[in-house]
Each structure stands twice: as structure tokens, then as C-alpha cells.
Structure 1
Amino acid sequence: MDTGYRIIIADDHPLFRSAMHQAVQMAVNGVDLQEVDCITSLMQLLSETTDIDLLLLDLKMPGASGFSALTSLRHQYPDLPVVIVSANEETAVVQQAMRLGAMGFIPKSSPMPTLVSALNIILEGEPWFPAGISLKDIPEDNIAERLASLTPQQFKVLTMLSEGKLNKQIAFELTVSEATVKAHVTAIFRKLDVKNRTQAVIALSQIE
């Protein structure tokens, strides 16, 4: 496969970044490959770089806990293909990644040929998940699904609520009116089926 793909590996373990780097180079010729070891560096890179073809994202690294990073990325960069690469291979974790819009899930225990094969399939535009796992066993009333229904601005407001910020502070930071913030908060409550800020913040924490 000879292309000019631009790929980011986001993982805080140097040895695994090296293994993924090798797998990517075996799957793709002439790839522009960049690596980051924390969410802060990832967000900075994404803000400076355009046309990223694929992000290989570890679930646990500095600045990320559980699915918080994936959820945030899906809202801020909805067109960015994200593949989770994780040591946690539980079926429920893989299903949650599916529900939140990941394009794939590659267990870290996968042998090199599997890594290369998975990357080839994903870069052809097809999702790749471990065999035998589907969404059929996930309850329909899934908090991840409700969070995924938020708009990017609503998710940003919810994140700021979780930081304990008041409507006035949120309005100032987002350069919008307090009335706009209140409208976002009302929409967040409705979409998450909660009645107050505390319940909304708890809902967000459930994906971490």
C-alpha cells in the first residue's frame, strides 16, 4: 500500500509506540507518522495539523481516563478516524468504543501480523474490531450514546460544568451570552435525561 497517509500514535509507553510505529511502517509505505505521549500534546498537535488520516489512541495515558479522550475527540474532530489501541480487551470496553464512534479497536496483545492486517483494513476505510464482538448486547439506554448525541459546544459546556465553572465563567470563556450557556445547559439536561448539574457531571464521569 503506497500512500501519503498522515498518522498519529498517541500512547505513553515508548516500547508500544515503537511496536505500533513498526506495524504502521509495515502496513503503509511513505507514511508521515507522528507520536505523542499525553492528551495535552495530542490536542496541541491536532490544533496545528490538518488532514490526519488516522489516530491510534491508547485509552489510558496522562490527561485521559477511560473514554473521556475518545468522547472529547469525537466531538471536536468528528471527521477524524480514531482507533483505540488498548491493553483492556474486555468485551464491554470494545463495545463502548464502538458505541462512541471509534473506527476500530486493536488489543495491545495482538501479534504483529494482526496489527498490520488491522491497519491495512482500517486504512482502506473499513472498521476493524476483534472477532465475535458486536453492539447487540449493549443496552439501548446507554450513557455513552446519550453523551455522543451532544453537539461539540454542548459537550464543551458539560466539560466546563464538570470543572465546577459557573454559567458566567463559561459564557466568558466561550465568548457567548449567559442566556446561550443556559440554553446549552437545558439541552444537555434533556439529552442526558438528568435534572441538575450534579447528575450531568456524574453522567460524564461514567465514561471515565
Structure 2
Amino acid sequence: MSFFILSDVNKVALKLFGRRKLLSYAQESLIQTGTSFDELISGTNSIDLAIRLNISSYMLPENNYCDFLRNWYMFSVPIMTKNENRGCISILSRENCINQEIALIVGLLSYKISNEYKKRKKINSTNLCDVTLTDSQIRILKVLARGCTDKCAAMELGISLGTVRYHKTNIFRKLNVESCVQAIMKVLKYGIISLDDMEL
């Protein structure tokens, strides 16, 4: 039986994933959210090595120089984005060595987390100073922000439903978003529209 630990670049456990019974046992071993795996605090361990050296790291229980890790097999993979370490994903097992298949899964999880981080960073880093929305697009966003449907917005603004949808497509493209909610949140965040614009 195994469980996963997601750690930040400071080698602190952010989240533990696994069966409740095993997580309870881990907690009894002092492995929990907030536990530091820094070598100066916890001794040599797989999480510290993976983050410090930017390489995958496997440790047998007898190689852990920390009392609370001496019963655990550990395999850790750093989460990298553009040569910058963001933390690591680790698997700990009490009973069994970690085989190649499990190690591969941990590596894939690291890759998936890294890609998700890059995607979210790209979406959040769209510089709205460079984005120019037309007056028509802003008017449509204000109406949609009040909860109107496309059809309702068309009627309220005196334009066709096709025109509303055309402007929405361009708004989504310019803001690098996929939904009205994302678009509205982004324009609110950057002050293109205000909460007052959303009042009925």
C-alpha cells in the first residue's frame, strides 16, 4: 500500500493522497501536510534530494536518516517548468519496494502537474494592457455579466444573436479564455468592467 505526497520547492508537504487508513498511519509517523522534508530538519530523504538535485530519487527505508521515514520506501520526482523546480511528487510505501511501473506513474504525474502549471500560468499571464476590446465587446460583456443569455443580450442591445456570438468568440480569443465566466472574471480583475456594471 502506498500514498503520494505533493511537496513545494521548499520541501514542505502540501498534500497527501491515498487511502484514509494509510494516511492515518503516515500521520502517526509524523508525515502530514506541513511536514518539512528539508535535509537540515528531516535528514537525507528522497524529497530533499529530488528538489535539491532536480533528479528523480529513490530511497530504501534504511537509507533515510530520519526516524519518521525509516519505515518507508520513497520515490520522488521533481516538478520542473522551464528548468525551474516547482516542487516534487513522491510515493511512499511501507511494505514493498517501489517497482518500475509505479516509478513511471510518479514520473507521469510530475509531467502532468508541470504541464497543468504551465497552462494555468499562460492563462493567468495574459497581459490585458495589450488586449483591446471594442466598445461593442465591452457592452456585450457587461450585459452577459448580469447573467443574461446570448439571446437576452441580443434583444437588450438591439443586435442579432449571431452578432453576440461573433463578439463572444472574439472576446474569448483576445482574453485567452474558454467561457463567459472566465472572461468576466478576467475583465473584472483588470478593471475593464466593474461590479457596478453587473448590477441589474
Q: Same fold (TM over 0.5)?
A: no
Question: Which structure carries more strand by proportion?
Answer: 2
Structure index of larger Rg: 2
